[in-house]
């Protein structure tokens, strides 16, 4: 299966991407573009797998039923541009020069960004263990990024896009403000400078993790059981985070993949069962507006918060 | 998951039997090196590395083989006969690596960091850093070690660094997205990946004297072991063009689908290529034009061939 994905990525690059770069006079990106081709192919696989599993699940045990599911459509759009890689491509290109400057400046100070394996040499050669350790650390960092985005009002103004959805489905995972995504990108760059990021060694594992994140938003009555819910974030657990009373400052269940950090820092609540979702403080444009309307409304809210 | 098991399984396998002649391929897209038996054309094993291995170079005494891992920010030192990992050297973004012919400098092109670094070739201590915009890609040395020439892929330039004065001597224009650069009979050849041609430059001034077409996406230039031929890989056209190194006239052309990149010449006359997009290594018989392929890891880039190697 891996081989088929890799061949597809190779084909995408050779048949589509390179002639396009050549035509646009952007051939200097040819080496980098393979990473993007891989990302796009695995992203498409993620969306397909998630779709194939979550659609029947949502039909089988829906938490909510809506007469009109049109508000979901914009989430489909969010998902496609972020998983198939248009957004990552834009942020990458936009930030490439910044990264080069930053890396160069740091290298001038004699700093060679380490990797987890160099900090803990016992990990060298144990790629599976290292990979899992990276996932745990990155998830920990993600917990704090998410938690802080609820603490600062200006930041929550952006994150409110994610919370405003009252018709939450597996498509809602990628419903994030572009600026929020950029902050996430900078967050990850900082971590990469400290401990590196894992290579594309286990793309199938990444696919499984991304699937879990989508699943946790599914409109499905699904819990992983007492123990399971404490090991991995379940749809029931994450739905509580999207609950009407959990929007904004006083929230809970921030974890994306592992609920451990919520348990450790006492923000976990395993009792709320399949609550209604949405953010009562958000203006209507954030919930049912178009992609553009959601973006501009939350930007305005951010400016209001910053100038208050 | 299946892959995970395969990986665990392959790690648990006992070391492969001795081989006569082996090839090391840098799988840049999946953080590993493939060891291929030259005679059976079988992949013997995969060596895990940190992040993104791209290019490889023998030390001047030919006793050690260096592999640059760009994102891992380290150079791996291998025994070129047993392919055993001996040590790791922390070095920032080692994309293209090379030693000056007089063995005084170890030069590193840090493509993602837009800098060219000169290191001591024994201690690997940084001697001087040249910030060069942008994307320093390939390098060629003057045979007398007076200069190193660097293609700047992002800004369509060729930079000449004076290795005596340790200054930038000149920066000249090239075609779009220049990649390979080669010193050939007192001139510099630059392959322009963003177009379809190779430019001939005067190494003293950087002035372009001549241009000739090789194919769309002209990428890298390799002299044959006897010095009579030059192979040029064309990335978009997926061809390898063979030039007469004296006249620069095209002698032959081979179709190599799958993104031909680096080349090694085997003593039996065969030419080994990495094919980036189909994740294979190709063995070309220049006499017949026939091609045999061997599956390796994702996006194979650098390649090292040693017909006397006995990998353990
Ligand atoms: Zn939240
Ligand atoms: Zn969510």
Residue A27 near residue B194 (C-beta atoms within 8 A)? yes
Q: What token pair was written down for A130?
A: 């290292």
Q: Give the three-class secondary structure for A158.
A: helix
Asked if B7 and A196 come within 8 Å (Cβ–Cβ), the reply is no
Residue A168 near residue A219 (C-beta atoms within 8 A)? yes
pLDDT of residue A207: 85
Residue B53 touches chain A, beta carbons under 8 Å: no
Asked if A100 and B112 come within 8 Å (Cβ–Cβ), the reply is yes
Whose CA is closest to A199, among A5, A38, A8, A80?
A: A38
pLDDT of residue B19: 52
Please tell me which residue of chain B has the smallest CA distance to A106. Answer: B113
pLDDT of residue B290: 94
Residue B259 touches chain A, beta carbons under 8 Å: yes
Q: Give the three-class secondary structure for A55.
A: helix
pLDDT of residue B112: 87
Asked if B276 and A107 come within 8 Å (Cβ–Cβ), the reply is no
Higher-confidence residue: A98 or B83?
A: B83
pLDDT digits (tens, 9 = 90+) for B131-157: 998 899 999 999 999 999 999 999 999
Using CB atoms and an 8 Å cut-off, which of residues 138-197 of chain B contact chain A? 153-154, 176-177, 193-194
Q: What token pair was written down for A68?
A: 């009109």
Which among B29, B238, B259 has CB closest to A200?
A: B29
The rounded distance, in Å, linking the Cα atoms of B230 and B222 is 5
Whose CA is closest to B152, among B169, B172, B167?
A: B172
A vs B: CB pairs below 8 A: 126
Q: Write down the pTM of the prediction.
A: 0.87
pLDDT of residue B27: 95
CA of A91 to the centre of ligand 1 (A): 22
pLDDT digits (tens, 9 = 90+) for B45-71: 999 999 999 999 999 999 999 999 998
Per-residue pLDDT for B23 more than 80?
Answer: yes
pLDDT of residue B10: 43
Compute the average pLDDT of residues B111-128: 93
pLDDT of residue B16: 44
ipTM passes above 0.85: no
The rounded distance, in Å, linking the Cα atoms of B190 and B211 is 9
Q: What token pair was written down for B287?
A: 């006499």
pLDDT digits (tens, 9 = 90+) for B159-198: 999 999 999 999 999 999 999 999 999 999 999 999 999 9
pLDDT digits (tens, 9 = 90+) for B243-252: 999 999 999 9
Q: Which residues of chain A have pLDDT under 70?
A: none
Q: Order the strands of the B85-90 sheet from edge to edge.
A: B53-58, B65-69, B74-78, B85-90
pLDDT digits (tens, 9 = 90+) for A72-131: 999 999 999 888 877 777 777 777 777 777 877 887 777 888 889 989 999 988 888 999
Cα B16 off chain centre by: 27
Q: How far is CA B67 from CA B80, B88, B89, B115, in A?
A: 11, 10, 10, 19
The rounded distance, in Å, linking the Cα atoms of A168 and A246 is 14
Contact residues, chain A, for B74 at CB < 8 Å = 118
Report chain A residues touching chain B, CB-CB < 8 A: 1-3, 6-7, 10-11, 13-14, 18-19, 22, 25-28, 30-31, 34-35, 38, 99-100, 103-104, 107-108, 110, 112-115, 117-118, 125, 127-128, 196, 199-202, 204-205
Residue B53 near residue B301 (C-beta atoms within 8 A)? yes
Q: What token pair was written down for A87?
A: 């957004």
**Strand-pair category, B187-192 with B197-201:** antiparallel
Asked if B278 and A10 come within 8 Å (Cβ–Cβ), the reply is yes
Residue B249 near residue B4 (C-beta atoms within 8 A)? no
The rounded distance, in Å, linking the Cα atoms of A40 and A60 is 30
Which residue bears the tokens 């938690």?
A147
Q: Which residues contact B158 (CB under 8 A, 6 or more apart)?
A: B149, B150, B151, B152, B171, B172, B173, B174, B178, B181, B188, B190, B201, B206
Q: Give the three-class secondary structure for A147.
A: helix
């Amino acid at each position: 299966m891996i081989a088929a994905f890799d061949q597809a990525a190779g084909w995408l690059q050779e048949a589509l991407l390179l002639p396009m770069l050549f035509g646009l006079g952007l051939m200097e990106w040819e080496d980098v573009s393979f990473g993007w081709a891989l990302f796009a192919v695995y992203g498409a696989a993620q969306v397909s797998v998630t779709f194939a599993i979550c659609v029947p699940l949502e039909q089988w045990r829906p938490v909510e039923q809506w007469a009109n599911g049109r508000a979901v459509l914009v989430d489909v759009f969010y998902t496609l541009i972020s998983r198939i890689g248009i957004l990552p491509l834009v942020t990458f290109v936009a930030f490439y020069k910044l990264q080069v400057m930053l890396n160069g400046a740091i290298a001038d100070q004699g700093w060679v960004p380490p990797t987890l394996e160099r900090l803990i040499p016992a990990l060298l050669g144990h790629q599976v263990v290292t990979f899992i350790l990276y996932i745990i650390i990155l998830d920990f960092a993600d917990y704090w990024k998410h938690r802080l985005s609820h603490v600062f009002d200006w930041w929550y103004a952006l994150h409110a896009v994610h919370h405003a959805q009252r018709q939450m489905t597996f498509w809602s995972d990628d419903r994030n403000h572009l600026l929020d995504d950029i902050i996430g990108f900078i967050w990850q760059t900082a971590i990469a400078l400290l401990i590196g990021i894992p290579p594309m060694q286990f793309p199938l594992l990444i696919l499984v993790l991304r699937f879990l994140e989508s699943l946790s938003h599914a409109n499905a009555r699904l819990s992983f059981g007492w123990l399971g819910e404490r090991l991995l974030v379940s749809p029931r657990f994450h739905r509580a985070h999207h609950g009407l009373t959990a929007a904004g400052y006083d929230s809970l269940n921030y974890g994306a993949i592992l609920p451990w950090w919520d348990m450790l820092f006492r923000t976990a609540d395993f009792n709320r069962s399949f609550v209604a979702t949405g953010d009562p403080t958000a203006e209507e444009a954030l919930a049912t507006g178009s992609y553009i309307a959601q973006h501009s409304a939350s930007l305005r809210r951010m400016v209001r918060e910053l100038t208050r | 998951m299946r892959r995970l098991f395969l990986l665990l399984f392959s790690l648990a396998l006992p070391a492969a039997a001795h081989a006569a002649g082996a090839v090391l391929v840098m799988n840049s897209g999946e953080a590993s090196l493939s060891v291929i038996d030259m005679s059976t054309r079988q992949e013997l094993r995969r060596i895990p590395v940190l992040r993104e291995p791209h290019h490889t170079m023998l030390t001047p005494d030919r006793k050690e083989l260096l592999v640059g891992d760009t994102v891992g920010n380290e150079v791996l030192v291998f025994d070129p006969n047993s392919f055993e990992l001996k040590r790791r050297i922390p070095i920032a973004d080692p994309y293209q690596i090379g030693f000056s012919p007089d063995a005084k400098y170890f030069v590193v092109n840090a493509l993602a960091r837009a800098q060219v670094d000169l290191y001591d070739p024994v201690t690997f201590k940084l001697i001087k850093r040249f910030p060069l915009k942008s994307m320093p890609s390939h390098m060629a040395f003057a045979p007398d070690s007076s200069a190193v020439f660097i293609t700047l892929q992002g800004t369509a330039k060729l930079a000449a660094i004076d290795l005596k004065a340790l200054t930038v001597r000149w920066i000249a224009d090239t075609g779009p997205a220049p990649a390979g650069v080669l010193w050939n009979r007192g001139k510099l050849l630059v392959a322009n990946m963003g177009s379809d041609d190779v430019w001939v430059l005067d190494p003293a001034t950087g002035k372009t004297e001549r241009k000739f077409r090789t194919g769309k996406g002209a990428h890298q230039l390799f002299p044959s072991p006897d010095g009579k031929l030059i192979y040029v890989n064309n990335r978009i056209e997926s061809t390898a063009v063979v030039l007469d190194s004296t006249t620069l006239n095209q002698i032959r052309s081979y179709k190599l689908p799958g993104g031909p990149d680096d080349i090694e010449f085997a003593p039996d006359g065969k030419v080994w290529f990495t094919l980036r997009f189909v994740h294979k290594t190709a063995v070309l018989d220049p006499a017949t034009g026939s091609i045999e392929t061997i599956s390796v890891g994702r996006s194979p880039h650098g390649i090292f061939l040693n017909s006397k190697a006995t990998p353990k």
